[in-house]
Amino acid sequence: MGSHLYGGAQQVLYLLEALSSSDVTSTLICPAGSAIGKSARERGVAVEEVGYRGDLDWRVVPKIKRLLRQQSIDLVHVHSRRGADLWGGLAARQVGLPCVISRRVDHHEARWWAGFKYALCDHVIAISEGIRAVLLADGVSAEKVSCVRSAVDFERFQAVSDSAGVKARFGLPDDSVVVGMAAQLIPRKGHDVLLEAVSALKDHWPQLRVLIMGKGPLATSVARQIEAMGLEEQVHCVGFLSDIETVLPHLAFLVHPARTEGLGVALLQAASAGLAVIASRAGGMPEAVLDEETGLLIPPGDAPALVAAMERLLSDPVRANEYGAAGRRRMADEFSINAMAVGNLSVYRRLMSSRRDA
């Protein structure tokens, strides 16, 4: 896990914090220098850092095994997909411990690979029903997979509106209508689809401004595409925002035209902030955004459909606000950190009970 807390790393931190108030004692094993290790330690969680050079670094297995034995661990929960699902599962199997793996992405894997990897663990937690369906299609048995959705820190996104402050921060005109996209700059997130849509909208909606929040390997490519399309006035890449809670509540709505997505933490955050969300009808996104209730769903990769959806919300801000209010209520009711922790804890207890009864 990397230098910023977002996505899966943030979910792990939520889980560790919530479990600290239960009868579970947790130890986080993570790469040296990672943001999650620093944050977990600040919150009183025991942290063990290991040297780790990426997906192919098999030498991490004996390091993990040694820590599992030293810490008298009873159960291993593997979260990262960056090799840790394989190496962590292998270490747990060799030490003889029950192992759970969280699956956060919705792409298919070769059946032979899925069969090998998931044989190392006792149970798989999918963060959406969409991901659970992918796992079943790839040959993982239904009895081995549970769905426990990701959580959102609802209270974090309840800031009082200060849209003028956000516009001043990013140098936007006072009469701007500001729309956001918060995602890593990687191909599957669909930044190209958004730029195509903005290009089609800019003449009819000259006050439209788009904040692209996030970082990633496509940063240079996206910047060049913005320049080539003449969208420098309309689209602003503002990088990763550690204080995104100070920005989201003041946008008109959020756009997330990802081609695939396990669930979409940014969608949960935006809904918590009271924003309508436009997202793709793919992966777990229909579970995060209810079409015509908390936002709008479009076919993945469909720029004309995104144009139409953005025009609907731009021309009907009352409807957008209604969607946002409904989304906020839903996040408070269904996506709490406590509910996520309880779901994970129930899986742990079932596994431990079955081990004792065996």
Digit-coded pLDDT (tens) for 112-144:
988 998 999 999 999 999 999 999 999 999 999
Segments in the chain forming alpha helices (H): 7-19, 35-42, 60-70, 84-95, 111-119, 129-137, 163-169, 191-201, 219-228, 265-272, 285-288, 303-315, 317-334, 337-357
Residues 210 and 328 in one domain: yes
pLDDT value at 30 more than 60: yes
101 has a pLDDT exceeding 50: yes
267 within a domain of the structure (yes/no): yes
Q: For a pLDDT cut of 70, what percent of the chain falls above it?
A: 97
Say whether both 313 and 344 belong to one domain.
no
Q: In this structure, are 138 and 55 located in the same domain?
A: yes
The whole-number average pLDDT for the span 143-155 is: 94
pLDDT, residue 1, reads 42
| Domain assignment present for 2 | no
Kindly state whether residues 175 and 115 are assigned to the same domain. Answer: no
Q: What pLDDT was estimated at residue 161?
A: 64
Q: State pLDDT tens for residues 306-322.
A: 999 999 999 999 999 99
At residue 80, the pLDDT reads: 72
Q: Tens digits of per-residue pLDDT, 230-283? A: 999 999 999 999 999 999 999 999 999 999 999 999 999 999 999 999 999 999
Band of the pLDDT at 82, cuts 50, 70, 90?
low
The reported pLDDT for the residue numbered 358 is 60
Mean pLDDT computed over every residue of the chain? 93
Question: In the predicted model, what is the mean pLDDT of residues 16-37?
Answer: 90
* Residues 114 and 178 grouped into a single domain: no
Residue 243 has a CB neighbour count (10 Å cut-off) of 6
Average pLDDT over residues 334-340: 92
Residue 27 belongs to a domain: yes
Per-residue confidence band for 334, with pLDDT thresholds at 50, 70 and 90: very high
Give the pLDDT confidence score for residue 222 in this predicted structure: 97
- Is residue 325, in this structure, part of any structural domain at all? yes
Pair (200, 255) in one structural domain: yes
Flag whether 93 is in a domain: yes
Least confident of 32-41, 78-87, 162-171: 78-87
Q: Indicate whether 55 belongs to any domain.
A: yes
Q: Collapsing DSSP states into helix, strand and coil, what is residue 178?
A: strand
- Cα angle: 104, vertex 343, 351; to 5 degrees: 95
290 in any annotated domain: yes
Query: Span 37-61, mean pLDDT?
Result: 90
The enclosing domain of 113 has a CATH number of 3.40.50.2000
Same domain, 121 and 179: no
Q: How far is CA 358 from the centre of its chain?
A: 36
* Residue 274 exposed, middle or buried by CB count within 10 Å (0-12, 13-18, 19+): buried
Q: What are phi and psi of 276, to 5 degrees?
A: -70, 150
1 lies in a domain? no
- Output the pLDDT for position 2: 46
Q: Are residues 70 and 139 in the same domain?
A: yes
Residues 145 and 172 in one domain: no
Pair (65, 136) in one structural domain:
yes
- Residue 221 and residue 168 share a domain: yes
pLDDT of residue 162: 73
Distance CA 165, CA 246 (A): 10
Judged against a pLDDT cut of 80, whether residue 3 lies above it is answered with no
Q: Which domain holds residue 140?
A: 7-151+336-357
Into how many domains does the chain fold?
Answer: 2
Together in a domain, 127 and 269: no
Let me know: does 156 contact 243? Beta carbons within 8 Å.
Answer: no
